[in-house]
Chains A and B, each alone.
Chain A
């Protein structure tokens, strides 16, 4: 008697779980032949309803006050993010990844909407940078590389165009090449926590390139690029080289930021040279220790 009850309760629990899962997993619902007609009807209904609402909004778009438009966009983003979170917590990673990408697109849409509603003069490069910054938390959450790549490309485009604006086309082109060269590296080494540091440093280095002493930063960028390529061909631990050079690059850019004359540049060059030599010496001395540490670190990842 007891066992029958337990069986029944187990069955009911599994049924509840099934319905829950099938509710959130549309593909599973579609595959279930019994639910096929219901699913088709529901989907058609939802699609026609959404298109209807969309058309009505489009027809009266100009009449709708700016605040209501923005609020509408924000609500859609909120719903999309809510669905993304719900799907992920329910365990439907593939579906949540699609929802995540939709949310990512909606962030861009919201930026454009706010720009239009409040007549802001946001250039496309500022838009790219803003989008990449606002979408960064989603990139951290993503399992598939699509959203991360979008963030990387938007950030790169935004920063590159900033560099282009300072009228150094060759420098900008080479910098972008450096940037493109490190994309595969980022993809290979992308790990949620450590990559934040990696990307912050990259961003600082690129922003540092706006300084007048771009050539120095360019040399470092070039070095990072070449070493990255060597790293790709040889093995995985070369991320360390990248970090080392980026650190050095940031230091150099910071030092050169306020140089006004040749004397200033000379002093800064001496300081930079000393720092680089010290880094090189440390690296030479602790090479084996660092290598073993790095191997352990990568194995842990």
Chain B
């Protein structure tokens, strides 16, 4: 009986370990990756479940393909053409206004590793991180 109880207790560890491994993957991925900047165009829809995010689309025509080890050819398949970038609620309005201006250069900083799907880590508006927006 005790053995059975102990055995089933391990079941509880399964979701914890799975999530922990998932987080470890992202951490290791980001630690050993190269940072690349790509220009985006986007808008700011509201999602009550996920909070505020910028739904962006990578503008490959304006992208600098000499970054990392790309040698003039952008690895389009490594990046999702569109994605979400989550921003704090109190600065969402300001970021939205800034992105919608045509004279502003908007970029996303990705953690890039050859052959792996890149992860967005920062949003730059005219070269400045979104964290500076209030």
Given A116-B51, A118-B26, A121-B80, the answer on whether A81 and B13 have CB atoms closer than 8 Å is yes
> Which positions 103-156 of chain A face chain B at CB distance < 8 Å?
103, 107, 110-112, 114-121, 124, 134-135, 137-138, 140-141
Residue B32, interface by CB 8 Å = no
Which residues of B are found within 8 Å of A199, using beta-carbon distances?
Answer: none
Which residues of A are found within 8 Å of B16, using beta-carbon distances?
Answer: 74, 77-78, 81
Residue B85, interface by CB 8 Å = yes
Residue A41, interface by CB 8 Å = no
Residue B3, interface by CB 8 Å = no
Q: How many Å lie between the Cα of A140 and that of B11 in the bound state? A: 8
Whether B12 and A107, one on each chain, are in contact in the complex, defined by CB atoms closer than 8 angstroms, is no
Q: How many Å lie between the Cα of A32 and that of B51 in the bound state? A: 44
**Chain A nearest CB: distance from B106 CB in Å?**
15
Which residues of B are found within 8 Å of A140, using beta-carbon distances?
Answer: 8, 11
Of the candidates B12, B50, B85, the one whose C-beta lies within 8 Å of that of A141 is B12
Residue B88, interface by CB 8 Å = yes
Given A116-B51, A121-B80, the answer on whether A134 and B18 have CB atoms closer than 8 Å is yes
Residue B76, interface by CB 8 Å = no
Query: Chain B interface: which size bin?
Result: 20 to 34
**Chain A nearest CB: distance from B112 CB in Å?**
14
Which residues of B are found within 8 Å of A182, using beta-carbon distances?
Answer: none
> Which positions 91-111 of chain A face chain B at CB distance < 8 Å?
103, 107, 110-111
Residue A89, interface by CB 8 Å = yes
Residue B66, interface by CB 8 Å = no
**Chain B nearest CB: distance from A104 CB in Å?**
9
Whether B83 and A62, one on each chain, are in contact in the complex, defined by CB atoms closer than 8 angstroms, is no
Given A114-B19, A119-B83, the answer on whether A61 and B88 have CB atoms closer than 8 Å is yes
Whether A119 and B121, one on each chain, are in contact in the complex, defined by CB atoms closer than 8 angstroms, is yes
Whether A135 and B15, one on each chain, are in contact in the complex, defined by CB atoms closer than 8 angstroms, is yes
Q: Which residue on chain B has the smallest CB distance to residue A77? A: B16
Which residues of A are found within 8 Å of B131, using beta-carbon distances?
Answer: 62
B1-31 vs A: 1/0 string, CB under 8 Å? 0000100110111111011101100110000
B116-127 vs A: 1/0 string, CB under 8 Å? 000111000000
Whether B83 and A137, one on each chain, are in contact in the complex, defined by CB atoms closer than 8 angstroms, is no
B89-131 vs A: 1/0 string, CB under 8 Å? 0110000000000000000000000000001110000000001
Which residues of A are found within 8 Å of B20, using beta-carbon distances?
Answer: 74
**Chain A nearest CB: distance from B38 CB in Å?**
13
Q: How many Å lie between the Cα of A61 and that of B88 in the bound state? A: 8
Which residues of A are found within 8 Å of B119, using beta-carbon distances?
Answer: 118-120
Whether A119 and B86, one on each chain, are in contact in the complex, defined by CB atoms closer than 8 angstroms, is yes
Q: How many Å lie between the Cα of A138 and that of B131 in the bound state? A: 38
Which residues of B are found within 8 Å of A114, using beta-carbon distances?
Answer: 19, 22-23, 26
Whether B19 and A137, one on each chain, are in contact in the complex, defined by CB atoms closer than 8 angstroms, is no
Interface centre among A62, A88, A114, A124 (most CB of B within 10 A): A62
Q: Which residue on chain A has the smallest CB distance to residue B20? A: A74
Whether A110 and B9, one on each chain, are in contact in the complex, defined by CB atoms closer than 8 angstroms, is no
Residue A242, interface by CB 8 Å = no
Q: What are 18 of the A-B contact pairs (CB < 8 Å)?
A: A61-B88, A62-B131, A71-B23, A77-B15, A77-B16, A81-B16, A114-B26, A116-B50, A117-B86, A119-B84, A119-B120, A119-B121, A121-B83, A124-B49, A134-B14, A137-B15, A140-B11, A141-B12
Give 20 new A-B contacts, CB below 8 A, not counting A118-B119, A137-B11, A141-B8: A61-B88, A62-B131, A70-B23, A74-B16, A81-B16, A85-B9, A88-B5, A89-B5, A107-B15, A114-B19, A116-B51, A119-B83, A119-B120, A120-B119, A121-B83, A124-B49, A134-B18, A134-B19, A138-B12, A140-B11
Instruction: Report B's interface with A, CB cutoff 8 A.
Output: 5, 8-9, 11-16, 18-20, 22-23, 26-27, 49-51, 53, 80, 82-86, 88, 90-91, 119-121, 131
**What 5 A-B pairs have minimum CB-CB distances, sorted nearest first?**
A62-B88, A137-B11, A119-B120, A137-B14, A134-B15
